[in-house]
Structure 1
Amino acid sequence: MKQISILSIIILMIIPTLTGCDLSFSNKNNVNMLVLFKSDIEKYEDFNEKLKSDKKINLDFDYLIDDDEYYTGDLWSAIEIGLNEKLKNEDIDIIANIPTPYLYEPIKNKQLESFEKYLDKDKFNISNIYQPIVDISKKAGNGEIFFLSPSFNNKMLVINNDIFNKLKINVPTNTLTWSEVYDLSLLINKKGKDFEDIYPISLGPGGKSGLFMDFELLTSVRELSLLDNSSNIYPNKEWITLIDQFVKLFKTNGESNKLDSIDDMFFQGKVGMKILYPKDLNVLYNKYSTQELGFKLANFEYTVLPAPEFDDKKNITYIDMKNLAISKNSKKKDLAWKTIKYAMSKDYASFMANSERNAFMGKFTSYKDDEILKIYSKKYEGINPEFFYSGTEGPTKPEDFTEEKYVYYHKLARKYFPDMIENKLTVEKGIEKIRNDFKKKTEGN
């Protein structure tokens, strides 16, 4: 009998080694997390290790879409349908990496747990969380918080000081409006004619042929629908004014055949201003080789400011975030909340800010205090880290399109936006063509 007992102990000691299992975590300390794509799972390894080490909680993973396989259907619809089905399952505790537009329906269908009671019970200090994160959640939840994002991405404006000084233009030090950016672009265009290869502005990686994509991102703060229920593109009259504004702004770059590369040209020292995406910080701080970039990085002084504002939307920022939420059917809601609370904590924010190993795909931590700002101030020397956290509100609205309709809209916009830039079409005529072609296609006429 004693031999059997000893043998049993030996087997129990060997099993973890053979299987890779950690028996120190019982099932009661496991939380089931649903992520968007299969490939997302490996991104959470660091977070899971920190969670186990600091909170003795272990994550088990499931996913909605297997992106190892080529997907031929409507991906957006598949995500919506798959999420709805998974949230009926009691085995799902947390959903992660889900963009905000996909959370409207689960909130409406009462499939997500409100965070309000947990925030009150834990006396969770929401004031340390970047305010637009909270604002977006409350907008989607009709005043309640149903999701939070541990990190986020934001856009900024970067200025080539050397070009401004060469052209004897004062370098701005405060947030600009889009009207002021346009005036500066006109000035750079006028004064730059005496110099070779100086351009006013890059609005993003799209360049000339992809201006429609940059335009869409930069007007997200307007919170306007691109498509209504009657298949009308640009249903709000404000779209005409906005498209005209951004086409005119891009036209200040002139008629060069290089304008599809204007984003790279900023880093080559040829462009006065650029909308800066978080990934661009790695270029700005010389973290890539010439071979990786495909061009030689110029050496110039620069100033980084918050992204330009619309005159009537000065508090709304250009935020992008991926969210954590708790399933209403979870049997481990308290443990799921502890997991989310840790993801939103100062401890994990410090880890993210110092290491840049971030499961939640944002460049900046949602938790913010003086110590976090000091980390960013040291990491991005010369940039005021408060500019990463500009604004007090965030834009959000439900998705207007199916994937198929969105792809076709982009096909039309890619065709007609360059024609508007080149004066082959007026803005009004270009919009009319996009509207008419889209309606014919989608209504089968």
Structure 2
Amino acid sequence: MKRKLVQRVLLVLLCGVVFAGCSSASDKGTEKRSSLKIMYVDEEAYFFSQYGDLFSMQYPNVDIEVVSTSSIYTEDDQDYNKALADFIEKKQPDVVMLSMDNYEKFAAEGKLLDLNPLIERDKYDIGSIYPALVEILKQKGDGKLYGLAPSFYGSALFYNADLFAKYGVKVPHDGMTWQDIIDTARRFPTTGDEKTRVYGYGNGNGMSIESLASAIAGTQGLKVINTDTMKITLNTDSWKQAYKLAKDAVDSGTIYNPEDGGFQGGTLEDLYRSQAFLMGRSAMTVGRSYLLSSIKDAKNTLKDYKPFQVGIVAGPVDPAEPDKSRDITFNELFAIRVNSPNIDAAWEFLKFVNGEKFAKVRSKSLTNGLLSLSSRMEYSKEYDGVNLDVFYKLKPSLDGASSLDNDKIPRDFYAQYQPIVDRELKLVEEKKKSIEEALQTIEQEGQVVLDKAVKEEAAKKSGE
């Protein structure tokens, strides 16, 4: 709590410096005292430390009420989409904070305000916002822009430059495919004790055949279920290639995949020591930008920590689309409820938290940790000496699964489907089945489970 209070005070002081000389009295829509109800995922104190305090300095005539959605996530068996829609209908917030799935759904249902007329009216500059984000939001909004996100998450390929130099391996480059990454990983030694040896590739808790195949498939946009036909599409050449590549990589010993499954609980030090890349024992890993913050924390927490030079390149990519990424997600997406009585004040809030001044203030607070990347590109330049430009290099691939498509999949399906996958892949690991045989069985038995789940859900809905 004390650390949060200090950070909050520092942000307010920084805001005072950046906004010095700016008067909010003349800001459009805030000359008279007005109120603004904002829906946020967490408690009021956290919202104000992140956004509210800074906004109130610029707009002292706007009274903010925060309504937290935490109360709707208490029942395990409820429909969260319906619960959220009911919550919004009951609380009537002016500004809503949404996930990408909620954004697409509510936009399609006409529940969000189109921001384009407001952007044009105020000549609001969105030119320095990462174009990929605007493109995704418009695509999910059927060509219209219904929301803006101050920050986002993106993945990249991290590498340990010291290990590459030590073993004489050429360092990674932008646009590497999973085949490239695994081929490079194989150039590192596979000998030594599991707890101390070097790995060519490794993430936090290790990668099984399934998790690596899923990562490869995700990069290539492969889907387990075709939601148009409600058919499982796992027994295809593309999925077979993804699983074969993953199996060969894991079998080669170059992938960090500890027998105990990795971190099973303990102290923060135990967690850090279980991370192969974090501890300098893995040459490469794919991760989010906040991995840099974890590296910095480990350096400051572990007395015997040995720092190493970190490199980052754009990727991995689908070989069919080498300039694009399917792994760009939003941290917190703000939109305006279509029937809000306080549209001007709500729009001022969206403009502010997505604006250059706010981005500048937030960039100066990164000394305590990099949680996400600023949507305003010029304000996420580097962290702890590492350049962050790489996270803005790739364009979005917009052919990924739609949240509206995912809603078609019964919520109970995966709980029944996963045991089939686990059983079949165990037989593959034990060399009792081939990849082709296992995927064929998973598809056949999984389809039976899916058909049953679809039928049961339809019956349940008809009885409501």
Q: TM-score, normalised by structure 2?
A: 0.75
Shift of 1:335: 1.6
Letter matched to residue 277 of structure 1: R
Q: Which one-letter code corresponds to 2:83 in the other structure?
A: G
SS at match of 2:293: helix
Deviation beyond 6 Å, 4+ runs, structure 1: 24-27
CA RMSD of aligned residues (A): 3.5
After superposition, the C-alpha distances for 1:292-345 in whole angstroms (9 at most, x for unaligned) are: xxx964433332222321222223232121311111111112221111111111
Identical residues among aligned pairs (%): 16
Q: Say whether 1:228 aligns with 2:226.
A: yes
User: Structure 1 residue 162: deviation in Å?
Assistant: 2.6
Q: Secondary structure at the match of 2:169?
A: coil
Q: Which has the higher contact order (CA 8 A, sep 6+)?
A: 1
**CA displacement 1:72-110 (0-9 Å, x = unmatched):** 214xx32x11333345468321110x2212222222221
Amino acid at match of 2:147: F
Counterpart position of 1:429:
437
Could you say which residue in structure 1 is the equivalent of 2:328?
Answer: 319
* Matched-pair contact (CA < 8 Å) for 1:282–1:288: no
Change (3 A) 1:194 1:109: closer
Give 1:107-146 correspondences, 5 Å limit: 107-146=107-146
Residues in 1 aligned to 2:361 and 2:416: alpha-carbon distance in whole angstroms: 42
Q: Secondary structure at the match of 1:170?
A: coil
What's the CA shift for 1:289? 5.7
272, 281, 288: which one aligns with 1:277:
288
1:441 counterpart letter in structure 2: V
Distance 1:103 1:269 in 2: 39
**Compared with structure 1, are the counterparts of its residues 193 and 29 closer, same or farther at alpha carbon in structure 2 (3 Å cutoff)?**
same
Partner AA of 1:319 in structure 2 = I
CA shift in 2, pair 1:194/1:411, >3 Å: closer
| Number of residue pairs the alignment of both structures matches | 400
Q: Counterpart of 1:386 in structure 2: which amino acid?
A: D
2:462 equivalent in structure 1: none
SS class of match (2:333)? strand
Question: Structure 2: how far apart are the matches of 1:72 and 1:29?
Answer: 38
Match of 2:18 in 1: none
TM-score by length of 1: 0.78
Asked if the contact 1:206–1:214 (Cα under 8 Å) also holds between the matched residues in 2, the reply is no
Distance in 2 between residues matched to 1:414 and 1:278, nearest whole Å: 31
Q: Contact 2:424/2:442 (CA < 8 Å) preserved in 1?
A: yes
| Equivalence for 2:71 | 66
SS at match of 1:110: coil
- Partner residue, 2:10: none
Task: Output one character per residue of 1:339-362: Cα deviation in whole Å (capped at 9) or x when no partner.
Answer: 11111111111222222499xx95
Task: Label 1:333 to 1:425 Cα distance change in 2 as closer, same or farther (>3 A).
Answer: farther
Aligned partners of 1:156 and 1:307 also within 8 Å: yes
* Structure 2: gaps (5+ residues): 1-24, 264-273, 454-464
Please report how far the alpha carbon of residue 152 of structure 1 lies from its aligned counterpart in structure 2 after TM superposition. Answer: 0.8
| Partner residue, 2:313 | 305
The alpha carbon displacement at 1:170 in A equals 1.8
Q: 1:353 to 1:419 in 2, by over 3 A?
A: farther
Distance 1:102 1:226, change over 3 A: farther
Q: How does 1:278-357 map to 2 (within 5 A)?
A: 278-287=289-298, 297-317=305-325, 318-321=327-330, 322-356=332-366
